[in-house]
Amino acid sequence: MNEAAITPEIVEQHGLSPAEYEKIVTIMGREPNLTELGVFSVMWSEHCSYKSSRVHLKRLPTRGPRVIVPPGENAGVVDIGDDWCVAFKVESHNHPSFIEPFQGAATGVGGILRDVFTMGARPVAAMNSLRFGPLDHPKHGNRNRSILKGCVEGIGHYGNCFGVPTIGGEVVFDESYSLNPLVNAFALGIVRKDQIFFGKASGIGNPVLYVGAKTGRDGIHGATMASAEFDEEALEKRPTVQVGDPFLEKLLLEACLEAMRSGAIEGIQDMGAAGLTSSSVEMAARAGTGLELDLTLVPQRETGMTAYEMLLSESQERMLIVARKGREKEVVEIFNKWDLDAVVIGKVVEGDRLKIVHNGEVAADLPVMALTDEAPKYERPMAESLRHGDTETARRGDGKLPASPSQDITASLKKLLASPNIASKHWVYEQYDTMVRTNTAILPGADAAVIRVKETRRAIAMCLDGPGRLVAVDALEGAKHAVAEAARNVACVGARPIAVTNCLNFASPERPEVMRSFSDVIDGMAEACEAFETPVVSGNVSFYNETDGKGILPTPTIGMVGLIEDIRKVITQGFKNDGDTIALLGSTGDDLSVSEFASAIVGLSTADMMASGRLPRIDLAQERRLQDALIAMADAMLLASAHDCSEGGLAVAIAESCFSSLGREALGAEISLETNGLSAEATLFAESPTRAVISFAPENLDRVRELAAGLPFAVIGTVRDDVLNISLDGQSAVSSPVAELEAIWESALEHELS
């Protein structure tokens, strides 16, 4: 096979260092050809090999009594009882969404759905965590708006066409995400315990089948691109972005599930990042086998494709299947019935070699384990921790907030409700089909989404939280806050948190300060997950989220999944009944220095908060008590509503509880608070953790108070009329019709986009 000689320039173009190339030569005992170099480049990329993160990820807790499939497969799987399980995962599609927002976000949805149904699970819910630069940015505002609109349209298009409800998530704005958007896609599916499938190439002599869409030239070097920072020439990388077809993926889903039920399949793997290369290598590595593949047999939609192109293509809606010998015809017939290609392209063999043939010639002959377990592992240099949460003295920043511009409290509340990070995101989620399959129990906009498990009385709650601002100020403590808020959100709908998936979004790992924050985040997550008994069962690491040397905030996205034993006991956040009692669980501190108030009212940038802000210490044991209390109250059916206090603090949480939702009329509230030595602003807008606003019938007060034992508990008001009135130490601080507040909150994002 005649190929060009490998030069240092070609090695560099493939994202490999000179030392890595020398390691390849040593492993091979010879110079690789171009196709082999391409295979090494994608398998050893940061995106596929986790070469900078593996040494840290092993510190996360991954086991527990409910864990059926821990990290290492396409998705994690946990037991929810009665022989039913849920499979779920979140992963990034950041780089493609920057280059081509619509297709980048759309194929992110497609990829995460395939990860779930590859496990044998039928997807029943999708969510997304989105981060963009400010829409009013003087330089990048137009581009930020374009990226937002393109990503939302792409997510809606793929999910709606595929037929999975998109039922929750988050949208956050910060300067650091200008030209570096984050698109983290989450999916969850239902599967019986005895019908779980794995991505293993087991059984010597078993045939290997290529199924699904034909292979094209789209997405080549997508994995390598996702492992590099961007520059002003980034848009030239548009050909590395895949193009998705959700209608074809729906056919692929049904064909795969039918083939799985037939008993003819031994193993199955999605062709995601690095396409046919990663799927074949990973399947062989998990089984400890070798593979022989003939690329000449691969269905192609373009002529003249080389072995290099076919191996590295990331064309969408494709799977690699290992069938049981003698039953490959059954598999082919099933896929053909669904109008999909299904072709035997190779077989499982003894040994640990991946042998690739094309047009009768050997195009690549590679050791499988060298591509996986023997990939480089780096312990990157780390800076000293500037603010480690272990000691007060180690923290930078005095936590003091400059004086805010003079304005009354009602005006401040209105301004906060109009802040893009707090304002209603209905413009986003109304573009998604939220009710397809009719399992959705809580619509988007709540603390957590809830989906019914129709086969049982149970329901599954899920949410995504990624407080990049908090982590930027204090990585260790901020990571604890992230896990705690996610667990609290799930508990606020009456669900017991049971497991976590994560997507860890960071700038270049070659920066010591980035690796320090990454390591601290891992430690903070581990501590919180241990405290809440929520093992991490799947996830993704996305490095090199930076452009022209400017990186994003360290942003760990936490996907929390919770279990509700009885769907009838679900709680929503809105006040329900005139005359109900309103109470606050938890205590408020002087926690304004890192908050939306500091940003929207005082005018501090995230950089300002990083310089002077201080996060409140979170007591994980107390946080666990709060979650347990909320779950117990829900189980006893004592609560009319529950809502987490987070962005905007107590006043925003109360206002949001007043707003209309799920066809419910808006209701007002009469609130009386004591400042207890705090400023009015801190009392109302501080973002102290471990708090929730609840409402309940007055006759339930004693029982609610009993279940709240061990927690700060204060009756703060009554649901009443259609006006929100808040007094502080007996003096009126806020007075506004709820309809006026809700109109501001509901229209703010659309106004920014107009």
Measuring CA to CA, how many Å separate 509 from each of 227, 501, 546?
10, 21, 11
123-140 pLDDT, tens per residue?
Answer: 999 999 999 999 999 999
Residue 238 pLDDT: 43
Question: Which of 378-387, 524-533, 682-691 is the least confident region?
Answer: 378-387
Measuring CA to CA, how many Å separate 631 from each of 271, 445, 464, 529, 570?
40, 20, 19, 18, 10
- Could you tell me where the DSSP H helices lie in 403-474? 409-417, 426-429, 468-473
193: buried, middle or exposed (CB in 10 Å: 19+, 13-18, 0-12)?
middle
Instruction: Give yes or no for residue 385 having a pLDDT over 80.
Output: no
Q: What CA–CA distance (Å, rounded) separates 589 from 587?
A: 7
Instruction: Give yes or no for residue 662 having a pLDDT over 50.
Output: yes
Q: What CA–CA distance (Å, rounded) separates 744 from 732?
A: 21
Question: Please, what sign has the CA dihedral across residues 72, 75, 77, 83?
Answer: negative
50-83 pLDDT, tens per residue?
Answer: 999 999 999 999 999 999 999 999 999 999 999 9
326: CB partners within 8 A, 6+ apart? none
Instruction: Give yes or no for residue 392 having a pLDDT over 50.
Output: no
Q: What CA–CA distance (Å, rounded) separates 354 from 38?
A: 14
Residue whose entry in the numeric block shows the structure tokens 């070097």: 221
Task: Specify the 3-state DSSP secondary structure of 57.
Answer: helix
Instruction: Give yes or no for residue 18 having a pLDDT over 60.
Output: yes
Instruction: Give yes or no for residue 111 having a pLDDT over 70.
Output: yes
Q: Do the beta carbons of residue 34 and residue 4 sit within 8 Å?
A: yes
In order, the DSSP letters of 648-695 are THHHHHHHHHHS--TTPPP--EEEEE--TTS-HHHHHH---SS-EEEE
Q: What confidence category does residue 390 fall into, taking pLDDT thresholds of 50, 70 and 90?
A: very low
Q: What CA–CA distance (Å, rounded) separates 425 from 433?
A: 15
Q: What CA–CA distance (Å, rounded) separates 152 from 69?
A: 31
Residue 217 pLDDT: 87
Longest dimension (CA), the chain: 87
Amino acid letter, 170: E
Q: In what side-by-side order are the strands of the sheet with 84-92?
A: 67-69, 76-81, 84-92, 182-192, 122-132, 166-173
Q: Do the beta carbons of residue 157 and residue 166 sit within 8 Å?
A: no
Task: Specify the 3-state DSSP secondary structure of 81.
Answer: strand
Average pLDDT estimate for 283-299? 97
Task: Specify the 3-state DSSP secondary structure of 138.
Answer: coil
Instruction: Give yes or no for residue 380 having a pLDDT over 50.
Output: yes
Q: Do the beta carbons of residue 493 and residue 642 sit within 8 Å?
A: yes
Q: 207 forms bridges with which residues in the sheet?
A: 347
Q: What CA–CA distance (Å, rounded) separates 421 from 468?
A: 12
Question: Please, what sign has the CA dihedral across residues 702, 703, 708, 713?
Answer: negative
- Mean pLDDT rounded to a whole number for the chain: 93
pTM of the shown model: 0.94
Q: What confidence category does residue 229 fall into, taking pLDDT thresholds of 50, 70 and 90?
A: low
Residue whose entry in the numeric block shows the structure tokens 């940061």: 46
Residue 594 pLDDT: 96
Residue 274 pLDDT: 84
Average pLDDT estimate for 673-700? 97
Q: What CA–CA distance (Å, rounded) separates 301 from 394?
A: 59
Average pLDDT estimate for 690-696? 98
237-264 pLDDT, tens per residue?
Answer: 445 577 889 999 999 999 999 999 999 9
Closest CA to 468 of 499, 500, 429, 507: 507
Measuring CA to CA, how many Å separate 323 from each of 209, 220, 261, 262, 344?
7, 27, 13, 11, 9
Average pLDDT estimate for 487-494? 98
Q: Which long-range contacts link 138-142 to residues 24+ away (Cβ below 8 Å)?
A: 139/178, 140/178, 140/179
Residue 225 pLDDT: 45
Measuring CA to CA, how many Å separate 542 from each of 107, 173, 306, 503, 539?
16, 19, 29, 7, 10
Q: What CA–CA distance (Å, rounded) separates 489 from 449?
A: 9
Q: What confidence category does residue 221 fall into, taking pLDDT thresholds of 50, 70 and 90?
A: low
Residue 548 pLDDT: 84
- Could you tell me where the DSSP H helices lie in 185-232? 222-225
Instruction: Give yes or no for residue 293 having a pLDDT over 70.
Output: yes
Q: What CA–CA distance (Å, rounded) separates 345 from 117?
A: 22
Residue whose entry in the numeric block shows the structure tokens 């400890």: 288
DSSP code, position 359:
T
Question: Which residues participate in catalysis according to the annotation?
Answer: 47, 93
Q: What confidence category does residue 476 fall into, taking pLDDT thresholds of 50, 70 and 90?
A: very high
Q: Which two tokens stand for residue 124?
A: 């029943």
Residue 407 pLDDT: 72
Q: How many CA atoms lie within 13 A of 663 on its CB side?
A: 1
User: Kindly report the CA angle at 265 between 264 and 268, in degrees rounded to 5?
Assistant: 165
Q: Do the beta carbons of residue 252 and residue 161 sit within 8 Å?
A: no
DSSP code, position 535:
-
